[in-house]
Structure 1
Amino acid sequence: MHLYVHIPFCKQACHYCDFHFSTNLSRKSVLVDAICAEISLQKSHLPKRELSTIYLGGGTPSLLTEWELAQLMTTIEQYFTVSPTAEITLEANPDDLDPKKLQMLRRYVNRLSIGIQTFDESALRWMNRAHTAIEAQACVALAQAAGFDNLSVDLIYGIPNRSKDKWQEDLYKMLALNVPHLSAYALTIEPDTAFGRWQKKGQLPAADEVLAADEFEELVQALTSAGYEHYEISNFAKPGQYARHNTAYWQRRPYLGVGPSAHSYNGYSRQYNIANNSRYISEIQQGNVPATVEKLSLADQVNDYLLTGLRTQWGCSLAQLTMLLGADFAQTQARDLAAMYATGWLTRQGDQLLLTPVGKLFADRVAATLFVE
């Protein structure tokens, strides 16, 4: 089983981010109390109590004090059994990772996911990131010196109005850090962000899809040549060092999400916590979990599997799709499958449906074409 904890606080708002967070840290400790209370309220949500992964995301979980982090982990251990081999990940920003903070984190977590995004100083400023290019490089060496050998870094590609060699420099510097895992995402412009508002006013052009596609291909070439496995569209890992928690999402395993805006999934329903810190705290203090539950139809379950499974190197099993649908998927969707094979975006290998290398650029479109009603 798997647990996600959402820490909805940041020092400042990145111009591209539409995740739920607040830059007002005054109620951080009160919200941590509420998350601990939700863990108690949700202790029976998962079919089993043993956790094989815990993921502290956000927001910026590296803003937690030792007291707050210890409180969370103690509460988790009170209501769940944490496997001795559990992967325990904390998302961190480079500017939070000094030697003292890293030694503290090492006592509670065994994996860091560091939001570097780019080593380009001007791009960092443009995106309103809180760290500098120097901190972006230094934090990884500091984490390794503190004993973290299970590290992931995030990069963003498709950043407009910069020379082509800047992305190549990002890749070169990332590879030089010798980390076992990379997550890389195309810059997207979401409406309720600074970039979205700038774009609406005509102050920012639309995302350059051609640039993003070119840089994605460079990314795949550079990482696979360096021995990384491209095991999910946005994720690369050295052999055997996949992100176990995120892999659980893509393979439709049950997980519980606690905290404002967190999602949960048990195979048959999804649950969405309210994305409002004050209302979340108020409801939890009254003993209520402020969540909306969506029951998944058979079609929903099939479509979820297509949307997530096709993104991975394992693809989707036709036998599994047939079991979920209650009818022969290959026969039911024969016309759409044939169309996707013809585009060269999808291929079949035995029982598995897999995206081709070019198909990875159109993953959502392929999945949507195969959706059932």
Structure 2
Amino acid sequence: MHLYLHIPFCKQACHYCDFHFSTSLGQKSALVDTLCAEIFLQKDYLPGRNLETIYFGGGTPSLLSESELRQIFAAIHAHFTVSPTAEITLEANPDDLNREKLALLRTYVNRLSIGIQTFDEATLRWMNRAHTATEAEACVRLAREAGFENMSVDLIYGIPDRNTALWQLDLQKVLALDVPHLSAYALTIEPDTAFGRWQKKGKMLPADEDIAAGQFEELTRVLTAANYDHYEISNFAKPDQYARHNTAYWQRRPYLGIGPSAHSYNGHSRQYNLANNSRYMAAIRQGELPATVEMLTMADQVNEYLLTGLRTKWGCSLGELNSLLMSDFAEKQGRDLAAMYATGWLSRVDDRLLLTPAGKLFADRVAATLFVEE
């Protein structure tokens, strides 16, 4: 099984981020206590107790102290067995990753996901990132010196008023640093963010979809030429360096989410924890789980599989779609499948539906076209 822990604290708010977090770090210790209490409350959510992956997301999990990490892992080991080969990932910001902190993290986790976003100083300031371009580059080298061979960095493309030459420089930095895994995301302007408010007031241009598409194509060209496997639309890895935890999500494997705003999935339903730190902690202290449960219909499960599976190099198995649908998917959706084949965005290889290179630019549209109804 797979475990996700949401650490909802950041030093400051990035202008593009709409994840659940707080900059009130005074609550951090109390929230860690509550996370550990929730681990006990949720220990029976899934039938298994053997953890294949653990993922610390956020927020900024690299803000956790040694005592807080020790406390969380004590709670995990008290209720679960951690596989000797488990992938244990922690999201980190470059400004947290000095030699001392990396040595500490190395005793608890074996994979880092570093939120660099760009190596350009001016763009970092515009995004309100807490780190500098120098720290962005140095932290990768320091992490490798500390023994982290398994690491990923995040980059953002499709940024308004930012020319493609800067994006190419970011990609060349990744190659020069020999990073084994890259996650690259197009900038999305969400309404309840600084960027969203700027755009509403006319202080910021919307992202140019054509420029973003061109930068995605450049990303794909450069990384594949450097022998990275484009195994999910936003993710590139060297051989045997896939993100095992995220791959579990894409392949519909059950997982348990701990913390405010965390999601869990057991194969039949999803549950969503309350995205409010104080109310989350108050409920857990009362022995209550502040979660909303959504039972998944047959159509929900088919459509979720299409939405996530088509994004990966493995695509969607017609056999699994037939099993979920309890009928012949290709027969039921024959007209829509034919339309997607005709666009050149979708192909069928043996039992699998796969996006073509051109189709990767339209993944959500392809999936939505194939969605089924009850």
CA distance in 2, matches of 1:225, 1:73: 40
Q: Does 1:174 align with 2:174?
A: yes
Q: How much does 1:110 deviate?
A: 0.4
Matches within 5 A, 1:73-112: 73-112=73-112
Q: How much does 1:169 deviate?
A: 0.3
CA distance in 1, matches of 2:318, 2:158: 34
Aligned twin of 1:212? 212
Aligned twin of 1:143? 143
CA distances 1:31-88 after superposition (whole Å, capped 9, x unpaired) = 0000000000000011200000000000000000000011001110110000000000
TM-score of the aligned structures, taking structure 2 as reference length: 0.99
In structure 1, the residue corresponding to 2:198 is in which secondary structure? helix
CA distance in 2, matches of 1:27, 1:248: 31
Aligned twin of 1:366? 366
In structure 1, the residue corresponding to 2:140 is in which secondary structure? helix
TM-score of the aligned structures, taking structure 1 as reference length: 0.99
Q: Does 1:337 align with 2:337?
A: yes
CA distance in 2, matches of 1:45, 1:121: 45
CA distance in 1, matches of 2:150, 2:46: 27
CA distances 1:169-188 after superposition (whole Å, capped 9, x unpaired) = 00000111111100000001
**What is the letter of the counterpart of residue 102 of structure 1?**
L
Q: Does 1:6 align with 2:6?
A: yes
**What is the letter of the counterpart of residue 311 of structure 2?**
R
CA distance in 1, matches of 2:47, 2:159: 43
CA distances 1:138-182 after superposition (whole Å, capped 9, x unpaired) = 000000000110010000011121232100100000111111100
CA distance in 1, matches of 2:155, 2:11: 19
Q: Is the 8 A contact 2:160 2:206 kept in 1?
A: no
**What is the letter of the counterpart of residue 48 of structure 2?**
K
CA distance in 2, matches of 1:35, 1:207: 37
CA distance in 1, matches of 2:41, 2:266: 16
**What is the letter of the counterpart of residue 92 of structure 1?**
A
Matches within 5 A, 1:261-276: 261-276=261-276
Unaligned runs of 5+ in 2: none
Aligned twin of 1:289? 289
In structure 2, the residue corresponding to 1:246 is in which secondary structure? helix
Aligned twin of 2:326? 326
How many residue pairs end up in the alignment? Answer: 373
CA distance in 2, matches of 1:40, 1:162: 47
In structure 2, the residue corresponding to 1:26 is in which secondary structure? helix
CA distance in 2, matches of 1:372, 1:47: 30
Aligned twin of 1:242? 242
CA distances 1:241-266 after superposition (whole Å, capped 9, x unpaired) = 10000000000000000000000001
Aligned twin of 2:26? 26
User: Where in structure 1 do 4 or more consecutive aligned residues deviate above 6 Å?
Assistant: none
Q: How much does 1:203 deviate?
A: 1.1
CA distance in 2, matches of 1:365, 1:164: 25
In structure 1, the residue corresponding to 2:25 is in which secondary structure? coil
Aligned twin of 2:199? 199
**What is the letter of the counterpart of residue 277 of structure 2?**
N
CA distance in 1, matches of 2:16, 2:163: 20
Q: How much does 1:136 deviate?
A: 0.3
Q: Does 1:223 align with 2:214?
A: no
Aligned twin of 1:188? 188
CA distance in 2, matches of 1:296, 1:70: 36
- Greater mean alpha carbon deviation, residues 80-89 or residues 155-164: 155-164
Q: Is the 8 A contact 2:274 2:291 kept in 1?
A: yes
Unaligned runs of 5+ in 1: none
Q: Is the 8 A contact 2:183 2:236 kept in 1?
A: yes
CA distances 1:321-367 after superposition (whole Å, capped 9, x unpaired) = 01100110000000110111111110101110000001000000100
